[in-house]
A and B are shown apart, each in its own frame.
Chain A
Amino acid sequence: GAGVSQSPSNKVTEKGKDVELRCDPISGHTALYWYRQSLGQGLEFLIYFQGNSAPDKSGLPSDRFSAERTGGSVSTLTIQRTQQEDSAVYLCASSLRQTTNQPQHFGDGTRLSIL
């Protein structure tokens, strides 16, 4: 398909385990964004990449969260030592380039449940 692809679609894991979430953006899109939506909350911006670079990581909720992007394409969001409050839907979006007048297109998200 031509859209943003995220995997896994669902992930259930025990508290304290590490998880890795994957995002495959639309081909040719240089900007990539991660968001999360906790239960009953709005969408919260986490981090963006322009190419392989993430200039500002201050939106990540804690130092247990990290993200990387290689080859200007696939990105992974890693959560170490997961906590129950990490349970949420993690959404990835991409846009043609990192300027304001380009809409972001979203994947269907990874629903993460921490037991």
Chain B
Amino acid sequence: DQQVKQNSPSLSVQEGRISILNCDYTNSMFDYFLWYKKYPAEGPTFLISISSIKDKNEDGRFTVFLNKSAKHLSLHIVPSQPGDSAVYFCAAIGLGGADGLTFGKGTHLIIQP
């Protein structure tokens, strides 16, 4: 039973446009949500996070939105750049952090020139 779902295995976006990556979760005990970016043969790199008490967090070109009632979060990247091409993982963790991060299966973002 997948508790964190990324339903789009891949997404292609033109350079300069907005990239929107989506993530849904089922566990209402999740308290903190994160997005990671991963290149082949490297570990995931932390991008941005959001606490369950907020609905938006922004850091430069990256914005994460959280809709708790819908159990949905999204990552917006604007403007998209060629270096953004990577696999993006959504992750969540419950209060206390004892169970580690639960990850989605990832979305492969491809930025077209």
Contacts and interface: CB of A to CB of B under 8 A. Distances in A.
A101 B94 CA distance: 10
Nearest to A9: B41
B46 A109 contact: no
B89 A43 contact: yes
B98 A48 contact: yes
A48 to B, nearest CB: 6
A100 B32 contact: yes
B102 A45 contact: yes
A55 B32 CA distance: 21
Contacts, number: 68
Contacts of B1: none
B20 interface: no
A100 B44 contact: no
A95 to B, nearest CB: 8
B47 to A, nearest CB: 9
Nearest to A98: B97
A99 B43 contact: no
A56 B106 CA distance: 27
A45 B99 contact: yes
A100 B31 contact: yes
B42 A43 contact: no
Nearest to A95: B97
A11 B25 CA distance: 35
A103 B105 CA distance: 19
B26 interface: no
Given A48-B100, A107-B43, 6 more contacts: A33-B100, A35-B101, A45-B99, A47-B100, A48-B98, A55-B98
A-B complex: 3 closest residue pairs judged by Cβ atoms: A45-B100, A106-B43, A100-B32
24 contacts: A4-B43, A33-B100, A35-B100, A42-B89, A42-B104, A42-B105, A42-B106, A45-B101, A45-B102, A55-B98, A56-B98, A56-B99, A59-B99, A95-B97, A98-B97, A99-B97, A100-B96, A101-B51, A102-B97, A104-B34, A106-B36, A106-B46, A108-B43, A109-B43
Interface of B: 31-32, 34, 36, 41-46, 49, 51, 89, 93-106
